[in-house]
Amino acid sequence: MIIIGAGGHAHAVIALWRALGVEPLGLLADDGPAEVMGLRRLGTPARAGEWRAQGVARACIAIGDNAARARLGAALAAQGFALPAAVHPSAVVMDGARIGDGCVVMPRAVLGAQAMLGPFCILNTAAVLEHEGSAGEAAHIAIGAMLAGGVRVGARALIGAGAAVLPGVAIGDDAVVGAGTVVLRDVAAGARVAGVPARELGGRSGQADVHGVRSDHAAVSVDGRQSQLE
């Protein structure tokens, strides 16, 4: 197992894998500290193929930027890496729930009955995605967010820390819901909303300033394809 990323989210992901009894080999990142939680930075993501050729079969993407996480996931899968989901032992996964490749489900998170996480999602600490809810590829449901039954979260969308979303509401692709927001009705793709109740802010989402969970500050690349993270 090798970890991609060396920012803040990498700390949580390393701790998660250790809770599952897995000690990662090290980190690949274009920037950041030389060591995170005792794991050395072994090079850049552009060298991932070399590690795969040496027999490293599994990788986990520990990057907070949703779009970059999706791109890296596709690139690593194309190189033959397995991208297993990681579910903390204290998380609650109810009957019929489904978890896609590369997801991380953090401590005390709840995934309700028949709920679904697409690939590379983050269900963060104490967040809840209730029964029959869904999250698209590389969505992030941040710390303590509460999504009631049947909520649909689009690909790469971000639900900020402590937000609440009422039953059956749809959050569009690439939307950002600010920390502590209460969402009563659907949110359009790419929109940024905040407040109680939610109101749309100006501009389109950059996932950098309203959600309470900033993206990692790093540039990452696989096989020369670079994605500058905010």
Read off the pLDDT band of 204 (50, 70, 90): low
Does 131 participate in catalysis according to the annotation? yes
121-171 confidence digits (pLDDT tens): 999 999 999 999 999 999 999 999 999 999 999 999 999 999 999 999 999
Q: Are strands 92-93 and 110-111 parallel, antiparallel or unpaired?
A: parallel
**Which distant-in-sequence residues (6+ apart) come within 8 Å of 174 by Cβ?**
66, 67, 154, 155, 156, 157, 189, 190, 204, 205
8-31 confidence digits (pLDDT tens): 999 999 999 999 999 999 999 999
Calpha distance 138→117 (Å, rounded): 9
Domain ranges of the chain: 2-84, 85-211
pLDDT of residue 8: 94
Four-way CATH pick for 2-84: 3.40.50.2300, 3.30.70.270, 3.40.50.20, 3.30.565.10: 3.40.50.20
Query: Residue 20: how many CB atoms within 10 A of its CB?
Result: 12
Say if residue 79's pLDDT is above 80. yes
Question: Exactly one of 131, 140, 211, 217 is catalytic; which is it?
Answer: 131
Radius of gyration in angstroms for the set of CA atoms belonging to the chain, rounded to a whole number: 17
**Contact (CB, 8 A) for 165 and 146:** yes
Calpha distance 101→179 (Å, rounded): 27
Provide the whole-model pTM: 0.89
162-188 confidence digits (pLDDT tens): 999 999 999 999 999 999 999 999 999
> Given this structure, which CATH class describes domain 85-211?
mainly beta
